[in-house]
Amino acid sequence: MAATLTSAFREDPLFAWLFPDPATRPRRSAEFLEAIVESTAGHGGLVMVSPDYECAYLAYPPGWHGESAEDNALDRPGLRDRSEAVGTLTRLLGQRRRGLPPHLYCTYIGTRPEAQGQGRGRELMAGFASWCDANAVGFYAEATSPRSLALYERVGLPRLGDPITLPGGPHLQPVWRSPADPRTRPRPQ
């Protein structure tokens, strides 16, 4: 899964901001995403992969208020020098989620570049949309690129408020899908 996500986020603006040196970015992104996968799965998160491992998806379940997967990545010796950037990312993402109705929090979804545009991401997200409806919870994520935002909007996740702006970095656009119950719709911040 980490290899799939590393490949998927190779050119992503968030990862270019987190790991600005292009020479070390692939190795550091892989180490970061390995920690994310381990943390998410180890703390009761939802982990899904397409049968061919071309697309992977990670999410925290509703009510998760524990340490973020990004915080756990800082336990890796090769990532400690990025603690300020990771801490800023974690803080800004947490602030935006605060006060939302119960929701599944998609931390990372990615498809290997050679498999993009074939519907794998949509297929995985459709399963989680059904799960959210059945459990009367919303679905929240942050789009890290125009391409990911377009995917989220195509599958029915409109923008939620203004983008999150990382200092000297990209804009992450929060998206939200309410479950079938309209009382769970959040107000944009």
Question: Which tens digits make up the pLDDT trace of 30-44?
Answer: 999 998 888 888 878
User: Is residue 159 in some structural domain?
Assistant: yes
Q: What is the CATH number of the domain that holds 108?
A: 3.40.630.30
Q: What pLDDT does 48 receive?
A: 86
User: Is residue 12 in some structural domain?
Assistant: yes
User: Is residue 86 in some structural domain?
Assistant: yes
Share of the chain above pLDDT 70, in %: 90
80-84 contacts: CB < 8 A, separation 24 or more? 82/18, 82/19, 82/28
In the predicted structure, residue 96 carries a pLDDT above the cut 50: yes
Domain range spanning residue 78? Answer: 2-184
Question: Which tens digits make up the pLDDT trace of 112-143?
Answer: 999 888 888 888 777 777 888 888 999 999 99
Q: What pLDDT does 97 receive?
A: 87
Q: What's the pTM value of the predicted model, to 2 decimals? A: 0.86
Parallel/antiparallel/unpaired status of strands 46-49 and 171-177:
unpaired
Report the alpha-carbon distance of residue 74 to residue 63 in Å, rounded. 23
Q: What pLDDT does 64 receive?
A: 74
Region 3-28: what's the mean pLDDT?
Answer: 94
> Number of folded domains in the chain?
1
Region 59-81: what's the mean pLDDT?
Answer: 74
Report the alpha-carbon distance of residue 98 to residue 105 in Å, rounded. 12
User: Is residue 189 in some structural domain?
Assistant: no
Q: What pLDDT does 184 receive?
A: 47
Region 170-177: what's the mean pLDDT?
Answer: 96
Report the alpha-carbon distance of residue 52 to residue 9 in Å, rounded. 18
In the predicted structure, residue 189 carries a pLDDT above the cut 70: no
